[in-house]
Amino acid sequence: MFRNYKFELNSKWAKKRLDPTQRYKISASQWTVFLEQRSFDDFKALSKSKFELAKRNKYYHHLGIGGYERKLTQWEQEDEAQRAKGLPVLLDQLGHRGSWWIRARVPAKKAKSGLSFADPMVEEAAKNIFKVAAKQQAGEFKPQREKDVLTVALGNP
């Protein structure tokens, strides 16, 4: 239980010098150890480097702590339901990486109503992914190792 709250404990409690022992099942000694771990220079340097790396991200996902792994089963079930209805399946159109990338960036509140993005940059990137995927299906684009639909559409090296 304690591991699941590390991010929240650090950002909402430790940095503000608050005590979460009344809200969470954490003893005072566990909280002391948690704070000590975050006071080391190694941790501070790693934290700063990860913060800088996160600032470079242009396309934020809506996966939560579980990441892609937690969502894959759900997406597979949704695809099977779409196929059973005879509707087009995102996976068939874009492949795994493209469909996962797009689905990860659809806010959970909008996921039931189809593809709708809160961020116009993500919407533009999604349109590019569909364009490149259409070129691949038409035989105008052939993916090669690191040069697949997703990397070409996003303009990543």
The pTM for the full model equals: 0.66
**For residue 91, pLDDT beyond 80:** yes
User: What are the boundaries of each domain within the chain?
Assistant: 3-55, 67-154
Please tell me the distance from the alpha carbon of residue 78 to that of residue 85, in angstroms, as a whole number: 11
Other beta carbons within 10 Å of 148: 17
121 touches 58 (CB < 8 A): yes
What crossing angle do the helices spanning 120-137 and 90-104 adopt, rounded to 10°? 160
Q: Give the helix/strand (H/E) hosting 84.
A: helix 67-85
- pLDDT score recorded for residue 80: 93
Mean pLDDT of all residues in 52-68? 83
